[in-house]
Structure 1
């Protein structure tokens, strides 16, 4: 085996959309637990405060119980929201492998409303290949669901 076979590469998922809403409207959907539960997953213990730790629960796999551990890293009201996204287990391969990533939402006012840019970074390939592929496809579905949720009355 060559040294190149041991080299890992960090990858990120990027989804960029423009929604016909003010940044304040998008911000509320990104930082309100009850609304997040409608378009993503129900956060447990969530508050949009730097240092706050919260979790999501998804399908378990192998030695991983399915808990996604998050910590709020950055809050710039109506502009930027970032949190850690950690889960998996080192003994798992494929789905449920150890994951230590960051999700960052950036909001930018534009003539049509708000440009919403999601960057989910820190995927270590090849170890996180399954998560990178699944979440890459998943975020492309979830981000438009954010828009659909905003259009629904509370």
Structure 2
């Protein structure tokens, strides 16, 4: 059990948990900022979490649900207040409805996570600040301390596998729930470089090409909410043309980009009538570059499986490898 102390201070309205780990600070930090990893311990073992969004930047948001053995769910959110890379971050943590919106009948609290080096590795101090004594007592009565102990007791197992996460540079796919897919890739470049590569047409045309033998003659994109974009690809020589079009829903440079996407063909140039996906791109700095996380929401599970079966992820890996070779700006 990594927890070394738990202190409740009714006068200061705080709950402070100190935990020690035998890994470098950066490994512990990445466990909290990578959605694939935090969802393996953010919740007691019998209530594993699924993170649908995890923005590690001021003004960002995280959204998650914990599912019990009988299918019962408890959902929550984080509103990111501040981030000091590798050292600390602060969030407002609260209960949420199924749609991710704050639960009006439940309190929220501030949580500060401080990471520090120790002689044996690293120490995490988590301080929860409550709005009132009544809220502190309410949440303690809901076994908040016991839940934190059970959740943090799982971290050592996750940390033991962090070297595997860091070493795997390929494009990784996870099915999330019934209608989503999460694609993750570590890119050798800064967050700013990767953002520009995803939002500047002349850069997109260098790398977003899929398998060799294709070109991108049309690339119209502006990272402005409400704008419409259009991509078109063709095999060298002009055959087998297709593309995608959609709207920019949200743009928070250089960390978050949300778009809709529909496939176009010469016979259906506006993509009408076909499936439309919601694509949420999040960029997070790491010790080795940038973690790219793309959460794709499909109309249903059948559509998800149909699109994944096309070899989409292999094509994405080919493009991301090309991005690292020749698509990043200087």
Which position in structure 2 is the counterpart of 1:136?
Answer: 145
C-alpha distance 130-68 of structure 1, shift in aligned 2 (>3 A): same
1:78 matched residue in structure 2? 86
TM-superposed deviation, 1:49: 1.1
Does structure 2 retain, via aligned residues, the 8 Å contact 1:12–1:123?
no
Q: Note the C-alpha offset of 1:136.
A: 1.2
Distance 1:50 1:140 in 2: 27
The answer on whether the counterparts of 1:49 and 1:72 sit within 8 Å (CA) in structure 2 is: yes
Decide which of 72, 75, 81 is 1:67's aligned counterpart. 75
Q: In structure 1, the residue corresponding to 2:40 is in which secondary structure?
A: helix
Report the TM-score, using the length of structure 2 for normalisation: 0.38
Q: Comparing both chains, which one has the higher relative contact order based on Cα–Cα distances under 8 Å and sequence gaps of 6 or more?
A: 1
List runs of 5+ in structure 2 lacking aligned partners: 1-9, 43-48, 68-72, 96-102, 166-330
Which structure would you say has the larger Rg? 2
- What is the 5 A alignment of 1:16-35? 16-35=18-37
Give the equivalent residue in structure 1 for 2:183. Answer: none
Cα distance change, pair 82–127 in 1 and its aligned pair in 2 (3 A) = closer
Gaps of 5+ in 1: 1-7, 60-64, 91-97
> Aligned partners of 1:103, 1:19: CA distance in 2, in Å?
20
With over 3 angstroms needed to count, the CA separation of the structure-2 counterparts of 1:123 and 1:56, relative to structure 1, is farther
Give the corresponding residue for 2:58.
50
Distance, in Å, in 2 between the alignment partners of 1:123 and 1:149 is 32
Alpha-carbon distance, 1:16 to partner: 0.5
Counterpart in 1 of 2:248? none
Aligned residues: 135
Alignment root-mean-square deviation, CA: 2.3
**In structure 1, the residue corresponding to 2:146 is in which secondary structure?**
helix
Q: Secondary structure at the match of 1:43?
A: strand
2:126 paired with 1:124: no
Kindly report which structure 2 residues correspond to 1:3-22, keeping only aligned pairs within 5 A, or say none.
11-22=13-24
Q: Deviations over 1:72-109 (max 9, x none)?
A: 1111111102211122443xxxxxxx211012211111
Structure 1 length as normaliser, TM-score?
Answer: 0.76
Structure-1 separation of matches of 2:65 and 2:108: 16
Q: Distance in 1 between matches of 2:21 and 2:136?
A: 30
Shift of 1:13: 1.9
